[in-house]
A and B are shown apart, each in its own frame.
Chain A
Amino acid sequence: MTTSPSPDAAAPAVQCSGLTYSFGATRAVDGLDLTVAQGEVFGLLGPNGAGKTTAIRAITTLLPVPAGMVTVFGLDCARKRMQVRRLLGYVPQQLSADSGLTGRENVELFARVFDVPRSERRERVDEALAAVDLTEAAGRLAGTYSGGMVRRLELAQALVSAPRLLILDEPTIGLDPLARAGVWDCIAQVRAATGMSVLVTTHYMDEADEHCGRVALMHRGRIRAMGPPADLRAELAAQLGADPDRVSLEDVFRHHAGAGLTGADRPDEGGDFRDVRRSRAAARR
């Protein structure tokens, strides 16, 4: 294949070195060092305002970060934006399918903007819709979909360009338990079929424990702990002399961040206004 992006076969899917980004006086991400290996599911965890979304926006080339801070498969996110974007499938926090288009048309749009040749467009869109189990609903307007269906549709939109790295920002926010399971189910199947790397942010610790190979606990722009969830739990259990099965990832987080996820025990306000507005927008759908 004569593709121009030549990602380094050996390079990690994502590498952040000392990533720092400020909005005015607020330092949203403060010296983030992070490596996502090829093929793993990596969870970036933390409460609202921890800097997860800012980190994601830097990795997805949406924020102007200096060269050398973030690379995706060895390509610098500041210098090779277009090449990096061709490797990414991105699902934002909001339920962002276009409600005025059918499910199929939503996926078709992303096939078009990723330059899928016309001759393969139909087949690729069919495959993406089948992969997320929306073949039968494909002809309906996305406005009639449930929250879980919209999320799966967004996965199909992200998959249609055969990305090597799937980035999901709070994929299960605002969904009911069954829809949450359905979304994770889809992610697992697609990963099994493609071997793609997945970077996911969430503040549901139980989901991270269940589905992520490694997690990083983020608080106020910094990583407080990183590793496989079981290791992190075992470590804390050993420290406290407790039964590892009774230590949750939430306990680990509380231990390292000195605060819980609810934000009630944090002195400063958690999450900015946009976070609130976004989750409300997502909840409305």
Chain B
Amino acid sequence: MSAAPAPQPAADPALSAEPAASAATATTTATATATATLLAGPRPVELRLLLTPPPPRRAWRLVLARMGAMCAVELQKLRHDRTELYTRAVQPALWLLIFGETFTRIRAIPTGGIPYLDYLAPGIIAQSAMFIAIFYGIMIIWERDSGVLTKLLVTPTPRAALVTGKAFAAGVKSVIQALVVVVIAALLGVALTWNPLRLLGVAVVVVLGSAFFSCLSMSIAGIVLTRDRLMGIGQAITMPLFFGSNALYPVSVMPGWLQAVSKANPLSYEVDALRGLLLGIPSHLGADFAVLTVAAALGVTAASLLLGRLAK
């Protein structure tokens, strides 16, 4: 079908009509202008496809479509403005360069025989992905304030589908971030795998982890409702999540109570899986994937239930 030519000619007369109308307003009121435009006969619009509503999708296909829609938006935004991509690369680069290089020389942390920088790299990948996801709720609050969220809620999108879409959009953003950190780590000489299947596994782990942390953030957004409070809480929980995990040091060097915290912390499972996949060191991939999947599912449930509070 050749659709483009049909609507095109209709657009031109109206474009030229606008300055003409502007000249007329100088002396008359707004309503008079409106009347004039209407009496002059508005340009006819031809709507062919827009006369029939699209057929609905069902169940899981609808959820997949919403995930696709939200991910597309995230990628389009990133294409228009890459500033965030660059600025967010700075912190992980500094962690690897300063912290990583220093602790590699100190040899204070038992890493099971691999250089500390190698040991650290998966931890920093998980950390930088988490930082993106943990502030995702701020975007939801912005969307609430700007009316975008309300508009999305009036579309045939169940809340759980909307939250799932957003969670995976955060995941897509995190995967791109992870890719940047992988490249930085490789440049610093970390011996990472280049096996495409393992890298695919890395992407899945990062998406699941980010889905959980973004849902945690959206849930908190649904409770606290304002950007300022969410910022405060986000700052307050990122550090304990990071230091209370195995990102920087193995769980075995932690005091007992912190080991317990680390066991309940999804970030630890994300890091464990990333180490196994990227470095090929022994890890618990099955358990890691299971914990991350369950955590993401629980996160989606909690955030969907709390989203209604933002919509009120």
Contacts and interface: CB of A to CB of B under 8 A. Distances in A.
A92 B151 contact: yes
Contacts of B68: 112
Interface string A150-161: 000010010111
B105 interface: no
Interface stretch (B3-11, B192-200, B203-211, B265-273): B3-11
Interface string B19-53: 00110010001110111011000111111111111
A267 interface: no
Given A98-B73, A177-B25, A123 B3 contact: yes
B146 A115 contact: no
B154 A181 contact: no
Nearest to B46: A193
Nearest to B14: A133
Given A92-B150, A130-B10, A141-B80, A115 B55 contact: yes
Nearest to B158: A82
B239 interface: no
A83 B44 CA distance: 30
B21 A61 contact: no
A262 interface: no
Contacts of B33: 177-178, 181
A136 B37 CA distance: 21
Interface string A11-37: 000000000000000000000000000
B50 A127 contact: yes
Interface in A240-285: 277-278, 281
B76 interface: yes
A182 B18 contact: yes
Given A60-B154, A281-B145, A124 B50 contact: yes
B147 A82 contact: no
A114 B155 contact: yes
Contacts of A116: 54
B262 to A, nearest CB: 37
A130 B8 contact: yes
Contacts of B42: 185, 188-189, 192
B34 A123 contact: no
Among B3, B42, B48, B146, find the residue whose CB has the most chain A CB atoms closer than 10 A: B146
Contact of A96 (B35, B52, B54, B151): B151
Contacts of A123: 1, 3-4, 49
Contact of A160 (B22, B50, B154): B50
Interface of A is mostly: helix
A143 to B, nearest CB: 9
A161 B47 contact: no
Contact of A113 (B8, B50, B66): B66
B53 A131 contact: no
Contacts of A188: 38, 42
Contacts of B38: 185, 188
B77 A131 contact: no
Contacts of B55: 1-3, 115, 117
A67 interface: no
B109 interface: no
B153 interface: yes
A180 to B, nearest CB: 6
Contact of B34 (A112, A127, A181, A194): A181
Contacts of A130: 7-8, 10-11, 45-46
23 contacts: A82-B56, A92-B147, A92-B151, A96-B151, A101-B76, A112-B66, A112-B68, A112-B72, A115-B55, A127-B48, A154-B151, A157-B151, A159-B47, A177-B25, A181-B21, A181-B37, A185-B42, A188-B38, A192-B42, A192-B45, A193-B45, A207-B31, A210-B34
Interface of A: 1-5, 60-63, 82, 85-88, 90-96, 98, 100-102, 105, 108-117, 120, 122-124, 126-131, 133, 135-136, 141, 154, 157, 159-164, 177-178, 180-182, 184-185, 188-190, 192-194, 206-207, 210-211, 277-278, 281
Interface of B: 1, 3-4, 7-8, 10-11, 14-15, 18, 21-22, 25, 29-31, 33-35, 37-38, 42-57, 62, 65-66, 68-69, 72-73, 76-77, 80-81, 145-148, 150-158, 311-312
